[in-house]
Structure 1
């Protein structure tokens, strides 16, 4: 038997602001919000969450993951050891999506990548957490 990958937890100076930002980036929605935690999930998963507890193991294992933002007193100081990769579909304009992220408050980041040789762009969210926008794909 395998365990379920449930969430990724992101330490944040302002969990609510981070949750709102990432929800806007991903077109997700907030399902839980307290001073100690903000949780976002894909919009299509919202109905599943509203239905309450899941008793069937296979159904529960297929339920998507969320992002959880929790408060910490310190700011980010080092490069992330774990990051999120985002990918546009081949029908989307990748450069326009990157521009949208920049307009929402993301920043371009140099983590040592050779921008002339890689097929991804490294950005950081408003609190400095790195993430990548990959090349367009259909799988």
Structure 2
């Protein structure tokens, strides 16, 4: 657990562990055992070879969010319906969103190629799948960590 001798860091790590251990067993993040020992499984891959796994896990997160929404006061009316989704305005908006999203993806492809083996020895490398998947999952729940009234 200790990777530093700084008192504040050690105190924080100990408090974090104590908080974690106070959770019921089923809510705890697994901190013991072999864990993920194959480093290659933790990245998308220089050629995207782990994309199918990332898409599968993103699908779990998306479905979990959809299920959460459906089960929250399930008898309330739904704002969306097939009439709205079949309307000209809805279809035009979806088309425009797709076109603009494609432009965004194209522009983002001008970013640094930190996934490449050519940059592995520099200051940073690829983003991990657990990091990206956690960010994606949390983003759908619109976390507000500023105001206590809306924070998790």
- Range of TM-score over shorter length: under 0.3
Say which one has the larger Rg. 2
TM-score normalised by L of structure 1: 0.25
Higher relative strand content = 1
Higher relative helix content = 2
